[in-house]
Structure 1
């Protein structure tokens, strides 16, 4: 494998809303990465904002011209596997937007290919760096609530009308489970490890829906139950997190502030990035005391900073493809559970 030097030539494949609002700005502010190429089939939106970027109409043409060393794939889920495989086969490092691939077997094939070639292949899991989840991790590490018995993680919205996004179409890898479910399950597994069993209720709740728009997935750890749930018919406040322990509870409403900042076009810079104002902090309910609990600052910038540090200095990866494979297998078990109406037990040796 050829040694890389900073800044690493980076390309984005697909320039939809997530790439435009999140991936491109995060790459642009990372001093060890240089956004130099993009694949857009019909437009040139990226190079209008980033004049040094060269636009290509296909991944094949970008690879033929050797335009980048790091390939970031943000296309719809059904294209993740063939595009990542194509990039790896010609010696490129790859970051794929979550859930990485539709099937765990595909992700395992990418893992083997990357390993054989000495290349990086991993998944963009930005919500590991949400301020509220970092706060949950801190409470667990400090044992503030003692022995934990339950964690509920919600991502509820009110979108009763069907949209035009590909995730709501009848295409492979559609639906809210492969979208938000990937984030929430990844957080739960990071916090507690691989569960003993999975139970799930996955539905299409909106009229004429062709993709799942609701899930309630329970990861059973024996003495601890972790639940991930999301729906698009919720027009009332529900907690983002509810953590229950022997010494008390922690409840947090509202989403991490970074997403709204990205949507507003704010550049991810400065010490105030990802800092939540005190009025939005969660609440800690102890036996004889109730108080606001400061939310730790979130920071999605850490993801690409770590990618660059790994490629340049061999620093340990914070998000690995093996972790993404575990999440995919749990999602596959969740769909099996919902279809068969039963709990799915972990197999010997893992999922």
Structure 2
């Protein structure tokens, strides 16, 4: 992909949806990466339209994907940051318009829908990926580094949690959404936890699942516990809860010669939400008070957390697109087949409800 006289050309991008995902994650990350030009924001909400125009001067603000697709010949990439039930039809339309596509998680509301999009992208020769950004959380990168160094010996149990105190459902679409619409914490936070577990320890079977709706107006689930048995022999305990007044450790790993415990949550989301830039020196750096503990030989060592790196998702995607797109041998930041596997685990978990 080149501009005039062979000079590199930015990847012309539209972000559809300007709620939390669009405004806090995608727009700031794209704006900070010189490989992209953020040209269009699509949102039907008047307040969000005003916010996008104010924060991103020079970016065209339109109502919806239909308006985006009218200018498809002037674009290269569409990022879908819309509610889950819209992901399949919108991604299909964007692919058929000849555009590469990023879909926020969850990829779709069924694994069949996700697989259909994977096959369509393959047939059309388009790039398709899914924003499982928490592969680049600092604590997850720290854990990957420890596993690569075999710091625990043979891992036996992996515990992972996303727990919050959110007694009120803040978003209108979430208040309306059932599980069939992609609503609930299993689709939301659970997509991250399942993806991380599968990345660390490989394919897994759901041994046990508890899905509850604790809030009176919750139409799907807000308190979920899963037990996965990985083919590698590791057992994962995954907890996600948005009505949790006291949170447990973010990670706990137990192995034959050591263990690791990590509290706190990666700081990148709140940093971006407060208006910080991925280009800031402080971006992705966690306060030392949240360092995890590696336990071996009857003593504990504090381990500084690796720097979080959500920009790596878009760096890898740019490399792929600029190297020839779907025909390039460079890896995608997230293989959409991985996201289909996450959806299969979610579907298996719902059998226990």
| Paired residue secondary structure (1:37) | strand
Corresponding residue of 2:141: 134
Is 1:323 equivalent to 2:348 in the alignment? no
Corresponding residue of 1:296: 306
Aligned-residue offset at 1:207: 2.5
Number of residues of Structure 1 aligned to a counterpart in Structure 2: 337
* Structure 2 residue ranges without an equivalent (≥5): none
Aligned-residue offset at 1:3: 7.3
| Paired residue secondary structure (2:204) | coil
Q: Give the TM-score taking structure 1 as reference length.
A: 0.92
| Paired residue secondary structure (2:211) | strand
C-alpha RMSD of the superposition: 1.6
| Paired residue secondary structure (2:22) | helix
Instruction: Select 2:44's aligned residue among 36, 41, 45.
Output: 41
Corresponding residue of 1:344: none
Corresponding residue of 2:242: 232
Corresponding residue of 1:54: 60
**Preserved contact between residue 169 and residue 211 of structure 1 (Cα < 8 Å):** no
**Preserved contact between residue 129 and residue 333 of structure 2 (Cα < 8 Å):** no
Structure 1 segment 11-160 matched on structure 2, within 5 A: 11-43=14-46, 44=49, 45-66=51-72, 67-160=74-167
Deviations 1:244-277 (A, max 9, x none): 0111211000000111101211111144321112
Deviations 1:136-194 (A, max 9, x none): 11111111111110010001111223434422323411110100000000000000111
1: CA distance between counterparts of 2:128 and 2:60?
A: 23
Corresponding residue of 1:346: none
* Structure 1 residue ranges without an equivalent (≥5): 340-351
List 4+ stretches of structure 1 deviating above 6 A.
none
**Preserved contact between residue 201 and residue 234 of structure 2 (Cα < 8 Å):** no
Corresponding residue of 1:213: 222
Deviations 1:267-288 (A, max 9, x none): 1114432111221101111123
1: CA distance between counterparts of 2:17 and 2:202?
A: 33
**Preserved contact between residue 85 and residue 182 of structure 2 (Cα < 8 Å):** yes
